Amino acid sequence: MRIDIITLFPEMCEAVMSESVIGRAREKGVIEVVCHQLRDYAFDKHKRVDDSTYGGGMGMLMKAEPIALCFEDICRSISARPHFIYMSPKGAVLTQKKLISLSELPNITLLCGHYEGVDQRLIDEYVDEEISIGDYVLTGGELPALVLADAVSRLVPGVLSDELCFSEESHYSGLLEYPQYTKPSVWRGREVPEVLLSGHHANIEAWRRERSLEETFQKRPDLLAGAELSEKDKKFLSSMVQNAENNNDAKK
């Protein structure tokens, strides 16, 4: 997979994407990340890529032409049109489901916005979708782009040592991940659940599934509506709902 990032701060993006797991994957050639300095496509001696907005208002707006030229240059360099994503607070909030679908694409390009955003004509002409990483506003699109690039890269085959590294994580299956423990088996009086020390794999898997359901029910019940649940899962959740109602009644 190749990820192109159009940015005013390529050094910042390079620094993050050159470290740890993603950096090693780049060195192995499993993924390719190319950061483009948008100012290289500006026209004047000051390398300006923004201007005032028509109709007045506060702040400056990123100009369409430098972005278009950069994107067209990317298309020529790979002899294809990559999926073009604008990181924007107006976009749909990024989810694990979206990341999985993006990881199946050969090429994606991420546009990092700044100032008051981007000329709408560029979005209408080139952008395939707008994506947000949450309902808040940052000073620029680099951090959102890096979040997406990191999260999608680790789903590419060969980046992580084993698919289980991500397939059992929170959100991948629609549920939150079960609690995990490491040595020692007793820490400050707190013991690791006995089932995890039993070596009985079926019991361990059943315990993990129930704890995953429990974590999701308690912390992110909104996720349950979209999760794939077996009849056994539904029965377990029903008992949790009943217990919660009984506890509430007892407090009244």
Note whether residue 34 is domain-resident. yes
Together in a domain, 205 and 114: no
- Domain of 192, CATH number, reads 1.10.1270.20
Output the CA torsion 209→212→213→219 (10° steps): 180
The rounded distance, in Å, linking the Cα atoms of 36 and 41 is: 10
**CA 56 → CA 62, 88, 118, 120, 121, distances in Å?**
15, 21, 15, 15, 17
Note whether residue 181 is domain-resident. no
Q: What is the 3-state secondary structure (H, E, C) of 65-82?
A: HHHHHHHHHHHHHHCCCC
Note whether residue 167 is domain-resident. no
How far does Cα 116 stand from its chain's mean position? 23
Together in a domain, 46 and 132: yes
219: its two tokens:
């912390």
Burial of residue 144 (number of CB atoms within 10 Å: 0-12, 13-18, 19+): buried
* pLDDT reported for residue 226: 87
* pLDDT reported for residue 172: 61
Together in a domain, 84 and 136: yes
* pLDDT reported for residue 205: 95
Residue ranges of alpha helices (H) inside the chain are: 10-17, 20-28, 64-78, 96-103, 120-126, 142-153, 164-167, 201-219, 231-251
Q: Residue 132: which domain range?
A: 2-153
pLDDT of the chain, 252 residues: tens digit per residue = 999 999 999 999 999 999 999 999 999 999 999 999 999 999 888 899 999 998 887 789 999 999 999 999 999 999 999 999 999 999 999 999 999 999 999 999 999 999 889 999 999 999 999 999 999 989 999 999 999 999 999 999 999 976 655 555 545 678 999 999 999 999 999 999 999 999 999 999 999 999 999 999 999 999 999 888 999 999 999 999 998 888 888 877
In a 3-state reduction of DSSP, which class is residue 112? strand
Together in a domain, 143 and 202: no
Residues with Cβ within 8 Å of 152's Cβ and at least 6 positions away in sequence, in order, are: 1, 3, 99, 102, 103, 108
* pLDDT reported for residue 168: 53
Q: Which pTM was predicted?
A: 0.83
Together in a domain, 36 and 124: yes
Residues with Cβ within 8 Å of 180's Cβ and at least 6 positions away in sequence, in order, are: none
**Residue pointed to by tokens 């959740």:** 237
Burial of residue 39 (number of CB atoms within 10 Å: 0-12, 13-18, 19+): middle
Together in a domain, 35 and 136: yes
Question: Dihedrals φ, ψ of 195, to 5°?
Answer: -60, -30
- Domain of 115, CATH number, reads 3.40.1280.10
Partners of 3 in the beta sheet? 33, 108
Q: In this structure, are residues 39 and 9 in contact, taking their beta carbons and an 8 Å threshold?
A: no
- Tally of structural domains, the chain: 2
